[in-house]
Each structure stands twice: as structure tokens, then as C-alpha cells.
């Protein structure tokens, strides 16, 4: 069973107690990060800690991490040893290798069955990680722990391999790769034999980089249901932390009773990722990877790493979906079909329709391909006419400058730019009401927020409107079908997407 430990780091004991009592209602274990307290409070805390530990229902791990191991305690080794000796009967203890070595040399009475011996590296994966593991494993500690920082997703590989090694050697182990690229170790670690994983009590209260909330681990990723047979899928991109795709696909897997999970995969070196973690012939970890969703900036580069690519993806020049079938990697583009399905449901037949697309990036290529396949005529509007001409020529489209453009006479105007997206671009629009007057339908491919400035301007101009949410869900529906072979629950996926956006 996967165990979620909620780490609690507060500046006062009273705040720690209050948070611990709240975590006690849902956590599997609670870690009290005592190094967040002041040195004065640490000296006076003994009885209070024992009382708190006995009050909590969940098992307690106490941690007093020194500054050089990522903690806040300025205590020297002897002071940490003295504190441990006073408090070891109250709970399990997570201690560093230097303290474990000192306790072994002291020859005192240590209950090693309650000890986690750990090593942390907050900058990288050390080259001698196997040797570090062996030094920790040489202690009498019951549980071994290695937490390193992942700078790319392939840094997860040695952590997974250590978890496998520990399992083979009959040792209990916690293996974590910190940072967003290390997220797979936090979600899949227990399925590789990890003793526990860490989840923060609330968003914004993480005690290490890349740490998800306990709620996301249990409800979004359904970590309690993940095992060695679980099909793994995920979003490959940079960045990926903003994506709501995990909410959409994991809701669908749960609704259909499919033993699968969808994980954000922050990938810097795409070629190394495919060689070491994806390609069945060369991958270095035994995960049950079944498929990938691909987003910026990897949609074009991924093509060279696949065994075959469907016609839409080839002509658009972008793959957003990878299916692993046996030893073959198959590429598809579901953006175009998702774009079209949403538009046709709203507009009807597009044959002969006069359509304008604003923007000359990857999204516009998918839109142009889809509209051409339906027999629509297209005009591409962009600021950079040289870039736009190259795109337009690929799809037999006209090209015009966006500056001072007017869209009266067009049946459909599509915003295929990121203007209006939540964040720094939210106050911008690709066109204003005066430009859109006389257009029948304005279609914004941006989905977050659901109500963009472009759509508000279109309504002022008297246009029908269509937001990007339906397109997002439609392309995910097709991905789900490609990965599982079954029909996806559209309404479940749409509700999950809507809820995720509402919750920020």
C-alpha cells in the first residue's frame, strides 16, 4: 500500500501542533520538521513533543535536519545526537548518515527499527549515488532514504533503480527526486517498493521542491491504486506544472475503471528521455509506459524519435500524442480533430466557409490543416508576414497582415495565438470588437481563462463565440481512445477540466 507522509514545518510548536492535528485526519504518517523551530524552543520542547506524539493517531517521524542537509537547525553534530537521545522513544526518527555513524560509534542503546537513515542533495544527482546508498545500507537503520535533486526527468532513473535494488536486497527504502522533473518518483515510487512518499498539507506549504499536495496524490493521481501493472501515461513538455491535462485524463481513467495514471513529465533533453525512459528497446526502468501527450516545445522534435507518424501529424509538422504498441512508437495529432469537432458542433458544415486564422504558430498549422480537410477557404493573418507566408503556403492559404485587419465577411475567425492566456497575456486580444464586426463566429483556441478578452470583444461585435475548452477536451478524448481502445467519458473529462480551472 502506498503511504503518504505529510511533512510539517512551522516556526512555533503551537503552529506545528495545530497543523499536525489537521493532518492526522487524512495522512498515513506525519513528519514533524523540528528544524523549523528556534534553538531556544527546541531546548524546551521535550515533554510537549512526547505528548503530541501520543495524541496523534498516525505514526510520527521526527526530523531535525542540519542546514547543510536542507534543514534550518544550526545545531552541531553533538547537539543533534543529544537531542536524539532525549527524544528517540517518542517517535520514528529521520537522521543523516553522519549522526547514524556517531550513534554507532557511541555504542549506546539505539532502537534502530525506528530509524530512517537519509542522504539529501539539493543540487543534483551525485555521480556516486550507489556508493552513498551502500554507506547508508551499512548502518543498522531499518529504513534507507535518498533524496536528490532532478534537473531533468532522466535524473529519475537512478532513483528508480535504487528502489529496485533495495527491494531486491530486502531493504525498506524511500527514494525521492526533488524538483518538478522528479515528480514521477513521488507518484510511482511506492509502486517500485518505496516505503512512503511525501505530500504537503496545502498547496504553497511544500517542504521540498516538486512536492505535490497529499490531496493531489490521493485524489488526482489515486496513488493508493497504483501498482506494477498500472499503465503510465503523461504530458511531455517544458513547462508542464500549469497543465490541467492530469485532471482530465485521471478523471477519465477513474470513471472507466482503467488501471492507469497520467503524470506531468518535465523534459529538457527529449532525446535522452526517449532513449532512457520511453523506447522499449533501450529504456532503463521497468515502468508500464503506454502513451504520451506532447506539448511545447517538443511537438515537432519528437517526430524523429517515432517509428511511424499519421498523415495529419506529418502534414501539420507536429505530434501531440504518442502510443507505445509493442516495441513501436506511433505518433498522432489529435489537436486538429479536437479543433474541428468543436467547431463543426457549433457551426455545422465547413465546406465553402470563409475562415480567418490569426497567428502563424503550431496552433494555426493544426487549424489550417483541419479547415482545408473540410473544404473551407482560409486566410492567415499575422504580424510576421515572412513567417506566415511559409505556413500559409503549406496549406494553400492566403496571407494578410494583422495590423489594421478587418474581419467582416468571414464566417469564422480563429485566434490561434496565446494572446489572452491566463497570466501576463490575459489583458491582450488578437482583435477588438470593431475588427470583428460582421463575423458570424469567433473561435478562441485559448482555454484558460474560459472567458478571454477576445471572446468578450467578439460578443460586443455581435458574433457567436466558441472557447478553447471544448477543443481541449475533444483532443484529450481522442488521446484516451488511442491509449485505451475504449470510448472516453466526454462529460466527465469536461467537468474535471472546468473544476481544475475554477480551483486555479
pLDDT in tens, the chain (504 residues): 799 999 999 989 999 999 999 999 999 999 999 988 887 788 788 788 889 999 999 999 999 988 777 666 677 888 888 888 888 777 899 999 999 999 999 877 899 999 999 999 999 999 999 999 999 999 999 999 999 999 999 999 999 999 999 999 999 999 999 999 999 999 999 999 999 999 999 998 999 999 999 999 999 999 999 999 999 999 999 999 989 999 999 999 999 999 999 999 999 999 999 999 999 999 999 999 999 999 999 999 999 999 999 999 999 999 999 999 999 999 999 999 999 999 999 999 999 999 999 999 889 999 999 999 999 999 999 998 988 999 999 999 999 999 999 999 999 999 999 999 988 899 999 999 999 999 999 999 999 999 999 999 999 999 999 999 999 999 999 999 999 999 999 999 999 999 999 887
Q: Domain 4-228 belongs to what architecture?
A: Alpha-Beta Barrel (3.20)
Euclidean distance between the first and final Cα of the chain, in Å? 30
Active site residues: 299
Whole-angstrom distance, CA of residue 360 vs CA of residue 379: 11
Whole-angstrom distance, CA of residue 255 vs CA of residue 74: 50
Cβ pair 191, 164 in contact under 8 A: no
Whole-angstrom distance, CA of residue 24 vs CA of residue 47: 20
Three cell numbers, residue 57: 493517531
Three cell numbers, residue 493: 473529462
Whole-angstrom distance, CA of residue 27 vs CA of residue 215: 9
Asked if the domains 4-228 and 236-333+478-499 are classified in one and the same CATH topology, the answer is: no
Radius of gyration of the chain (CA): 27
Whole-angstrom distance, CA of residue 156 vs CA of residue 148: 9
Three cell numbers, residue 267: 523534459
Cβ pair 135, 97 in contact under 8 A: yes
pLDDT value at position 303? 97
Q: Which CATH superfamily is domain 341-467 in?
A: NAD(P)-binding Rossmann-like Domain (3.40.50.720)
Whole-angstrom distance, CA of residue 205 vs CA of residue 211: 9
pLDDT value at position 182? 98
pLDDT value at position 90? 75
Q: Where are the domains of the chain?
A: 4-228, 236-333+478-499, 341-467
Distance of CA 334 to the CA centre of its chain: 20
- Cell 478524448 -> residue: 477
For residue 60, the cross-strand partners are 30
Cβ pair 420, 430 in contact under 8 A: yes
pLDDT value at position 71? 66
Three cell numbers, residue 458: 467578439
- Residue spans of alpha helices (H) in 352-464: 362-373, 385-394, 433-436, 453-460
Which run of H or E residues covers position 493? helix 490-502
- Nearest Cα to 35, choosing from 18, 10, 1, 60? 10
The sign one gets for the Cα dihedral 14, 15, 20, 22 is positive
Class level of CATH domain 236-333+478-499: alpha beta
pLDDT value at position 73? 66
Whole-angstrom distance, CA of residue 168 vs CA of residue 170: 5
Amino acid at each position: 500500500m502506498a503511504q503518504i507522509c505529510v511533512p510539517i514545518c512551522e516556526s512555533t510548536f503551537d503552529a506545528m501542533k495545530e497543523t499536525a492535528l489537521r493532518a492526522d485526519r487524512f495522512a498515513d504518517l506525519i513528519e514533524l520538521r523540528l528544524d523549523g523551530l528556534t534553538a531556544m524552543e527546541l531546548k524546551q520542547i521535550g515533554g510537549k513533543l512526547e505528548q503530541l506524539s501520543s495524541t496523534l493517531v498516525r505514526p510520527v517521524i521526527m526530523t531535525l535536519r542540519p542546514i547543510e542537509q536542507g534543514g534550518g537547525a544550526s545545531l552541531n553534530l553533538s547537539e543533534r545526537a543529544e537531542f536524539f537521545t532525549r527524544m528517540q522513544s517518542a517517535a520514528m526518527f529521520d537522521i543523516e548518515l553522519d549522526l547514524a555513524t556517531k550513534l554507532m560509534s557511541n555504542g549506546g542503546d539505539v532502537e534502530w527499527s525506528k530509524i530512517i537513515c537519509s542522504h539529501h542533495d539539493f543540487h543534483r544527482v551525485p555521480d556516486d549515488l550507489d556508493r552513498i546508498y551502500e554507506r547508508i545500507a551499512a548502518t543498522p537503520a531499518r529504513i534507507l532514504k535518498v533524496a536528490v535533486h532532478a534537473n531533468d526527468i532522466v535524473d529519475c532513473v537512478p532513483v528508480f533503480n535504487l528502489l529496485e535494488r533495495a527491494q531486491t536486497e530486502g531493504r525498506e527504502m524511500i527514494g525521492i527526486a526533488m524538483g518538478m522533473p522528479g515528480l514521477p518518483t513521488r507518484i510511482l515510487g511506492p509502486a517500485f517498493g518505496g516505503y512512503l512518499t511525501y505530500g504537503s498539507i496545502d498547496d504553497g506549504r511544500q517542504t521540498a521542491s516538486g512536492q505535490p499536495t497529499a490531496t493531489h496524490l490521493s485524489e488526482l493521481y489515486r496513488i493508493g491504486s497504483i501498482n506494477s501493472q498500472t499503465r503510465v501515461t503523461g504530458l511531455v513538455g517544458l513547462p508542464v506544472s500549469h497543465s490541467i491535462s492530469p485532471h482530465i485524463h485521471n478523471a477519465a481513467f477513474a470513471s472507466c475503471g482503467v488501471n492507469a495514471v497520467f503524470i506531468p513529465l518535465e523534459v529538457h533533453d527529449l532525446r535522452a528521455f526517449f532513449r532512457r525512459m520511453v523506447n522499449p528497446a533501450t529504456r532503463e526502468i521497468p515502468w508500464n509506459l503506454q502513451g504520451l501527450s506532447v506539448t511545447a516545445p517538443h511537438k515537432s522534435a519528437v517526430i524523429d524519435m517515432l517509428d511511424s507518424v499519421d498523415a495529419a501529424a506529418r502534414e501539420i509538422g507536429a505530434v501531440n500524442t504518442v502510443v507505445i504498441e509493442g516495441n513501436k512508437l506511433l505518433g498522432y495529432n489529435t489537436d486538429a480533430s479536437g479543433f474541428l469537432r468543436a467547431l463543426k458542433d457549433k457551426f455545422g458544415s465547413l465546406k465553402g466557409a470563409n475562415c480567418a486564422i490569426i497567428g502563424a504558430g503550431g496552433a494555426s498549422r493544426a487549424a489550417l490543416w483541419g479547415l482545408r480537410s473540410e473544404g473551407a477557404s482560409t486566410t492567415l493573418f499575422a504580424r510576421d508576414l515572412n513567417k506566415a507566408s511559409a505556413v500559409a503556403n503549406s496549406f494553400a492559404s492566403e496571407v494578410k497582415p494583422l495590423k489594421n485587419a478587418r474581419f467582416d465577411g468571414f464566417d469564422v475567425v480563429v485566434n490561434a495565438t496565446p494572446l489572452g492566456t491566463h497570466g501576463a497575456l490575459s489583458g491582450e486580444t488578437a482583435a477588438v470588437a470593431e475588427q470583428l464586426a460582421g463575423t458570424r463566429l469567433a473561435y478562441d483556441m485559448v482555454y484558460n481563462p474560459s472567458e478571454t478578452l477576445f471572446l468578450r470583444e467578439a460578443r460586443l461585435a455581435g458574433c457567436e463565440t466558441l472557447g478553447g475548452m471544448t477543443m481541449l477536451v475533444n483532443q484529450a478524448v481522442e488521446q484516451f481512445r488511442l491509449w485505451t481502445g475504449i470510448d472516453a467519458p466526454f462529460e466527465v473529462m469536461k467537468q474535471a477540466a472546468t473544476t481544475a480551472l475554477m480551483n486555479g
